[in-house]
Structure 1
Amino acid sequence: MPEKRTLARARRDRREGKAATTQAGEFVREEMEHAKEGKHPVKGRKQAIAIGLSKARRAGVKVPRKKRGAGGRGAAGKGAARKTAARGGARKSSAGGGARKSSTARRPSRSATRKAPARRAGARGAAASRKASPRKAARRR
Structure 2
Amino acid sequence: MPEKKTVERAHAAKRAGKSPSTQAGAFVKEQIDHIREGKHGAKSAKQAIAIGLSEARRSGVSLKAPKKGAASAATRKKAAKDTQAGQHKRQRSASTESTAKRSATSTRVLKREGSQAASHKALSKQTHASASRRSAAERSASARKGWQTRRKAASKAGATRHAR
Residue of structure 2 equivalent to 1:40:
40
Whole-Å Cα distance in 1 between the matches of residues 129 and 26 of structure 2?
A: 25
Q: In structure 2, what is the equivalent of residue 62 of structure 1?
A: 62
Query: For the structure 1 residues 123 and 8, does the alpha-carbon distance in structure 2 shift closer, same or farther, using more than 3 Å as the test?
Result: closer
Alpha-carbon spacing, 1:14–1:122, altered in 2? closer, same or farther (3 Å): closer
After TM superposition, the structure 1 = structure 2 runs for residues 1-141 of structure 1, keeping only pairs within 5 Å, are 1-70=1-70, 108-123=114-129, 125=132
Unmatched tracts of structure 1, length 5 or more: 72-106, 130-141
TM-score normalized by structure 1? 0.57
Following superposition, the deviation at residue 32 of structure 1 comes to 0.5
Q: Aligned residues: percent identity?
A: 49
Letter in 1 for 2:115: S
Q: Which moved more, 1:17-26 or 1:34-43?
A: 34-43
TM-score w.r.t. length of structure 2: 0.50
Number of residues of Structure 1 aligned to a counterpart in Structure 2: 92
Please give the root-mean-square deviation of Cα atoms over the aligned residues, in Å.
2.4
- Check 1:16–1:49 CA distance in 2 against 1; reply closer, same or farther (3 A cut): same
How big is the shift at 1:70?
4.3
Supply the distance in 2 between the matched residues of 1:64 and 1:33 (Cα, whole angstroms): 24
- Structure 2 alignment gaps of length 5 or more: 72-112, 137-164
Residues of 2 paired with 1:123 and 1:11: CA distance?
A: 29
| Secondary structure of 1:108 counterpart | coil
2:139 corresponding residue in structure 1: none
